[in-house]
Amino acid sequence: MFEFVTARELFELIQVGSQIEKDQLEYVELDGWVRTNRNNGSIGFIELNDGTYFKNVQLVYNKGDESYDLCASLNTGDAINAYGVFKITDGGKQPFEIILKKATLVSKCDPSYPLQKKRHGFEFLREIAHLRPKTNTFAAVFRVRSVLAMAIHEFFQNQGFVYVNGPIITGNDCEGAGETFTVTTLDDLSKGYKDDFYGKHTNLTVSAQLHAEAYAQCFRDVYTFGPTFRAEKSNTVRHAAEFWMVEPEIAFADLDDDMALIEDMVKYCITTVLEECPAEMEFFNKMIDTSLLERLNHVVNSKFEVMTYTQAIETLSKAIENGVKFENKNIEWGMDLNSEHEKYLCEQVVKGPLFLINYPKEIKSFYMKQNADGKTVAATDLLVPTVGEIIGCSEREADLDKLLEAMNIRGMNIDDYTDYISLRKFGSVPHSGFGLGLERIIMYVTGVQNIRDVILYPRTVGTIS
């Protein structure tokens, strides 16, 4: 029997181990790109990657074959069509190989092709961003990215959440940090925005939350999943100016309900990636972070820890007394924690994911529900080892007077938020939500340490390609 096949089908066939199907498959045809080619003058081996599976398919060619000369001339990057006999290699390094009967050149790769067999560093590869998916590391990262995105949709859809989209161009700055990209058609802004496209200042969204809240007040459980933009001048390994955020919003729900949802979602995401990307995850565990699989398996099987902000401040102060070195040593209640503090808490203290709850209201956003102590808000950040914050979460302030007070204290223009505020008058119920940075969770599950290496075309302060 003859079949056009993909590498994925062949590798899956091997895994399932059905002898009948394997026996039926004799001649196969597939196409792909040459990763490596070696030959000793009488026998040669081509590692072919067809894009459907992480691992390469081994093609074997022999002196005297019809396509021997062509095969021997092939270089890394060439695209070919291959036809041959499928053979299981019991006990071999490869589970199977294809004994080539005929190869056809589809496209010759220019000798200037910069990717060669050796291992290339992340920094070098960032300079040829568009070729990165042709490397093992990036093929694995972007496959995991796709599987994670699907897992997120599945997780929410399975529980009846409605997928909604907020606008990309908006007049609000949800996080109130003033880190927005202005959207304008004007070259000259000296006369303000009166003559601009919308007749007022607008920007790219920093969060779809305020719009998601409107949907949650009718559908109850909703989520958004979309691009998000922040003109944060933080040149760090975990900040991008353009990233993707998942923002669920749940009605009749408090912070505890929200945290339970987060824990379930993170575990579901990890489990799905472990199940659906075993080859990729093995690769990360070998090449990027040798404790990755152990760590992720532990996370799936353990309860996330919870610590209050106040306890965190005490813990950090004690750590300094005990000789732990931080760049920022001025630990005091009311401060915003730095990444080094967050990492210390989850990596050294609880050694796993950590919900840090009840932050001082002054360092958090206007929409967060004020706790009865008058000082803190019902908010949490989920901190994880190796990355730090991957989720920002809170119960929303449902009390109109308290909401207005929080906005006034921050000097916000109430008129820009009339629709949002009116939600508090029309059957408003307790509700909560969170934002998960897609790139941050990709970093967490792959072990990749720089956000520039989980986005093909990263936009970060000072660079765009």
Beta carbon of residue 134, minimum distance to Mg ion (angstroms, whole number): 35
> Of 44 and 388, which has the nearer Cβ to Mg ion?
388
CA 362 vs CA 58, 294, 376, 464: distances in Å: 60, 38, 8, 34
Residue number, 7 or 151, with CB nearest to ligand 4AD: 151
Per rule CB under 5 A, count of chain residues that contact Mg ion: 1
Binding site for ligand 4AD (CB under 6 A): 174-175, 207, 209, 230, 232, 239-240, 243, 245, 247, 389-394, 433-435, 437, 439-440
Name the minimum Å distance from CB 414 to ligand 4AD: 19
In the complex, the smallest distance separating the C-beta of residue 365 from Mg ion, rounded to whole angstroms, is: 9
Residue 175 interacts with, from ligand 4AD, Mg ion, none (CB under 5-8 Å by kind): ligand 4AD
Closest-CB residue for ligand 4AD? Answer: 392
**Closest residue to Mg ion, based on beta-carbon distance:** 392
Nearer to Mg ion, 203 or 228 (CB): 228
Q: What's the burial of 444, exposed, middle or buried (CB within 10 Å: 0-12/13-18/19+)? A: buried
Reading the block at residue 212, the tokens are 């998601």
Q: Which is nearer to ligand 4AD, 83 or 243 (CB)?
A: 243
Closest separation in Å from C-beta 33 to ligand 4AD: 32
Length of the chain in residues, anyone?
465
Considering only residues 118 through 137, tell me which ones interact with Mg ion, judged by CB under 5 A.
none
Q: Which positions from 340 to 379 touch Mg ion by CB under 5 A, shown as an x/- string?
A: ----------------------------------------
Residues 6+ apart with CB under 8 A from 458: 126, 129, 240, 242, 451, 452, 465
Least Å from the CB of residue 229 to ligand 4AD: 9
Task: Single out the residue of 388, 392, 433, 458 in contact with Mg ion (rule: CB under 5 A).
Answer: 392
285 or 460: whose CB is closer to ligand 4AD? 460
Nearer to ligand 4AD by Cβ, of 77 and 166: the residue is 166
- Is 95 or 176 the residue whose CB approaches ligand 4AD more closely? 176
Q: What is the Cα–Cα distance from 116 to 307, expressed in whole angstroms? A: 48
Q: Which is nearer to ligand 4AD, 142 or 193 (CB)?
A: 142
Name the minimum Å distance from CB 432 to ligand 4AD: 8
What is the β-pairing status of strands 221-229 and 242-251?
antiparallel
295 binds, among ligand 4AD, Mg ion, none (CB under 5 to 8 A by kind): none
Task: Give least dist CB 91 to ligand 4AD, A.
Answer: 46
Considering the complex, state which of residue 138 and residue 434 has its C-beta at the smaller distance from ligand 4AD. Answer: 434
Q: Are 29 and 4 in contact (CB under 8 A)?
A: yes
What is the C-alpha to C-alpha distance for residues 445 and 268, in angstroms, rounded to an integer? 12
- Binder of residue 65, out of ligand 4AD, Mg ion, none (CB less than 5 to 8 A by kind): none
Residue/partner pairs of 176-182 with CB below 8 Å, 24 or more apart: 176/365, 176/366, 176/410, 176/412, 177/206, 177/230, 177/232, 179/206, 179/230, 179/231, 179/232, 180/204, 180/206, 180/229, 180/230, 180/231, 181/229, 181/231, 181/241
Partner touching 266 among Mg ion, ligand 4AD, none, CB below 5 to 8 Å by kind: none
Which residues are at the interface with Mg ion (CB under 5 A)? 392
